[in-house]
Structure 1
Amino acid sequence: MIDFRYHLVSIVAIFLALTVGIVLGTTMLQDPLLNTLQTETSQLRDQSDELREEKDVADRLSAGADEMAAAYAEDMLTDQLTGTRVVVMEAPGVPEELRDGVVARIEQAGGVVTGRLSFTDKYIDPGQSSFIRELTGQLAEDAEPPRGSAHERAGAELARAVIRSEEELEESSESEEGSEEDGGEEADAGAVLAGFAEAGLLTVQGEPSGKADIGLVLAPAEPFTTATASEPEQDDATPPGNTAFLALANALDAEAGGAVLVGTTTSIEPGGLLAQAREEQAGFTTVDTAGTTTGDVVTTLALAITTEGRSGHYGIGEDADGFLPDPLPQPNEPTRPEDPGDNLQDEDAE
């Protein structure tokens, strides 16, 4: 007959066995486990040190490349954009130093920045699409309204407002009468830009109305988010900002026969504006290294090849054609005032 003493002894035996097992297990496994953890920690520390050293080397190489680019920028860029007028389009979130660096190199190459359009967050808000579509139709007035989505229409109208047409170029070079006609068309273009500005969609710096030969679009420092006022961020969705500014770049490309979209290396990260442009095999030119001395020089060379009727994708991204254009663009003939001595020589020849 099994009594209480039997149960008590059994329970004590079970707990004693568990205790002995725990003690033996921890004693036998302690050293191998600690050794394994110490080895893995040491390996991770070594890898971290190696990566840090590699990053330091890469940073020094990058700094050296910037120094070399700055030293030879004058030789590389002289007269590359002489006689070329550039309008700059800034997405929301463009760093001031990036914009100023690119503008400085354009001017060093002999180009003229006619003005800048700085877009607001309102322009890329999907909730404003109907408003943008209606506004674009009103500002088009007698002209046939552009076709497509709201931002495709807006981009086409803005491109038409800032880019000089072939007819305008011919008229402005033929006679003073052509200049007067340009003034009227410039006023219409100014009204379009003013309309978008008054609606809070952009701000205007300088006098870009109908004066540019090519458009330069600056991507934001960080990729646009997919979140909207009514929807949370979605992993697989296309950021509304990408849709808006790719439409703008395509419109500038169609109107001017070439356009350039530039950004920092963050713009080629997943969801980045340049990453999507290259994925869609955009016909306009892209540069993903802007914001550095070297990248700003490459941006200027990219503008120069665009004036030659070429295009490409440049920088360090996997889809880039190369780090910089190949072959390099040919400098434009520098313009100079008429030398009075030329007239004297003509008179002597007569």
Structure 2
Amino acid sequence: MIDFRYHLVSIIAVFLALTVGLVLGTTMLQDPLLDTLQNETADLRGQTEDLRSERDVADRVNAGADQMVDAASADMLDGRLEGLEVVVVQAPGADADTAASLGERVEEAGGRIAGRVEIAPEFVDPANTAFVDELALQVSADAGSLSGSGPYEKAGIEIGRALARAPEPDEEEDEAEEEDGGGAEEGGHDPASALAAFVEGGLLTVRGEPAGRSDVVVMVSPSSAEQAGRDDRETVNTVLTAFVSALHDRVGGLVLTGDVPSSHGHGMIAQARAQEADFATVDMAGRPMGDIVAVLALAEDIDGDGGAYGVGEGVDGFLPDPLPEPRETADTEPSPEPSDGLDEARRVVPGGE
């Protein structure tokens, strides 16, 4: 039978073993362990310094590239959007400075900002989905054509229709309109009234007078900083991507711009590229290089060849290659070729009347 003395001896033996282990650990193993930790710390510190130096060099290279591209922007953008009316559309949480700098590049390329449309946060609020759907049906001149489309696709179709420039009528149509007394567009659709309905519904803010004037659209996606940590990021960007796809079908040329992080994960540009959207995307907006590439991508998308450009995931390249050619506007007449007088001389027949 085990008595108390046996338990006492066992407990003393355990504590003695622990004491011996601690003594050995703090004497025999102390120096090698400390040396190892110090060496690893020194290595990590060296790697950190190397990475910091590489980052500083990369920042200087990028800053220099922006300066160089900025200096060459006049030649790169000259005439690429000549004669086009452009509407800038800002998603909820889009960076206002980015939208402004893109507008400046559009004008540098010969385009004209017809107006700006800011999408309100209420537009993408799940609680307003039914309202968005109902409003799109109310403003539509042909509600039956919207059947089968989701609420935000319907909204994209109708807002795009309200923004898009109506095709120029020929002379016979002009005469017919004069006989009929003019009026709204075919089917009684009034672009300004349709756009105003979304404004009055608290879904949009409109600056300028873009209704019925847009040839192409620059869409600015939500900034990654604004969406950081939001649980509904994926849902919001899915909704906006559906809206932009429908908008593009109506207005023709469109480029979706955003920062580099928006091309990763659940970012809006990442979702558009994953769905193989047929409009152009650029993921470097907000810096000179990105804004210039965005204008070039927009000029390319006018012909239906929009690609994915930048440095993020799923790009076709850094910028369009070859670059889109400058546009020739209808009021630009080719200069007559210089004449040396020989043609006139040939028209004069000796002895003729």
Q: State TM-score, norm by structure 1.
A: 0.84
Q: State whether residues 261 and 274 of structure 1, in contact with CA within 8 Å, keep that contact through their aligned partners in structure 2.
A: yes
Inter-partner Cα distance in structure 2 for 1:254 and 1:5 = 91
Of 306, 314, 317, the residue aligned with 1:311 is 306
Q: State whether residues 136 and 157 of structure 1, in contact with CA within 8 Å, keep that contact through their aligned partners in structure 2.
A: yes
Q: State whether residues 116 and 205 of structure 1, in contact with CA within 8 Å, keep that contact through their aligned partners in structure 2.
A: yes
| Matched position secondary structure for 1:110 | coil
AA aligned opposite 1:84: L
Aligned to 2:351: none
Q: State whether residues 254 and 302 of structure 2, in contact with CA within 8 Å, keep that contact through their aligned partners in structure 1.
A: no
2:213 is the alignment partner of 1:218:
no
Aligned to 2:160: 159
- Seq. identity, %: 47
Over residues 253-279 of structure 1, what are the superposed CA-to-partner deviations in whole Å (9 max), with x where a residue is unaligned? 212333211111121121101111111
Aligned to 1:209: 211
Which blocks of at least 5 consecutive residues in structure 1 are unaligned? 339-348
Q: Cα–Cα, structure 1 residues 251 and 45, in superposed 2: closer, same or farther, change >3 Å?
A: same
Deviation at 1:307, TM superposition (A): 2.1
AA aligned opposite 2:294: T
Pick which of 294-303 and 325-334 moved more. Answer: 325-334
Over residues 148-205 of structure 1, what are the superposed CA-to-partner deviations in whole Å (9 max), with x where a residue is unaligned? 111011111111110124xx32359985986998873398111111111111111001
Q: Which runs of 4+ in 1 moved over 4 A?
A: 1-14, 171-183, 223-228, 334-338
Aligned to 1:275: 270
Inter-partner Cα distance in structure 2 for 1:213 and 1:58 = 38
Inter-partner Cα distance in structure 1 for 2:93 and 2:234 = 14
| Matched position secondary structure for 1:154 | helix
2:201 is the alignment partner of 1:194:
no
2:36 is the alignment partner of 1:41:
no
AA aligned opposite 1:56: D
RMSD (Å), alpha carbons: 3.1
5 Å-filtered alignment, 1:215-254, equals 215-222=217-224, 233=231, 239-254=234-249
Deviation at 1:19, TM superposition (A): 1.6
Number of residue pairs matched?
Answer: 330
Deviation at 1:9, TM superposition (A): 6.0
2:257 is the alignment partner of 1:255:
no
5 Å-filtered alignment, 1:61-80, equals 61-80=61-80
| Matched position secondary structure for 2:118 | strand
| Matched position secondary structure for 2:205 | strand
Over residues 94-114 of structure 1, what are the superposed CA-to-partner deviations in whole Å (9 max), with x where a residue is unaligned? 112101110000001110111
Inter-partner Cα distance in structure 1 for 2:211 and 2:6 = 102
Over residues 77-130 of structure 1, what are the superposed CA-to-partner deviations in whole Å (9 max), with x where a residue is unaligned? 111111111111110111121011100000011101111110111111112111
2:86 is the alignment partner of 1:86:
yes
Inter-partner Cα distance in structure 1 for 2:171 and 2:297 = 27
Over residues 22-65 of structure 1, what are the superposed CA-to-partner deviations in whole Å (9 max), with x where a residue is unaligned? 21122222222212221221121111111111111111111011
Q: State whether residues 261 and 285 of structure 1, in contact with CA within 8 Å, keep that contact through their aligned partners in structure 2.
A: yes
Inter-partner Cα distance in structure 2 for 1:184 and 1:7 = 102
Inter-partner Cα distance in structure 2 for 1:46 and 1:108 = 46
Q: State whether residues 125 and 240 of structure 1, in contact with CA within 8 Å, keep that contact through their aligned partners in structure 2.
A: no
Inter-partner Cα distance in structure 2 for 1:309 and 1:282 = 12
| Matched position secondary structure for 2:92 | coil
Inter-partner Cα distance in structure 2 for 1:10 and 1:143 = 89
Inter-partner Cα distance in structure 2 for 1:215 and 1:26 = 71
Inter-partner Cα distance in structure 2 for 1:193 and 1:25 = 78
Inter-partner Cα distance in structure 1 for 2:181 and 2:73 = 39
Which blocks of at least 5 consecutive residues in structure 2 are unaligned? 334-343, 345-353
| Matched position secondary structure for 2:321 | coil
Pick which of 306-315 and 71-80 moved more. Answer: 306-315
Inter-partner Cα distance in structure 2 for 1:47 and 1:333 = 55
Inter-partner Cα distance in structure 2 for 1:61 and 1:267 = 23
| Matched position secondary structure for 2:320 | coil
Inter-partner Cα distance in structure 2 for 1:213 and 1:318 = 29
Q: State whether residues 223 and 273 of structure 1, in contact with CA within 8 Å, keep that contact through their aligned partners in structure 2.
A: no
Q: State TM-score, norm by structure 2.
A: 0.84
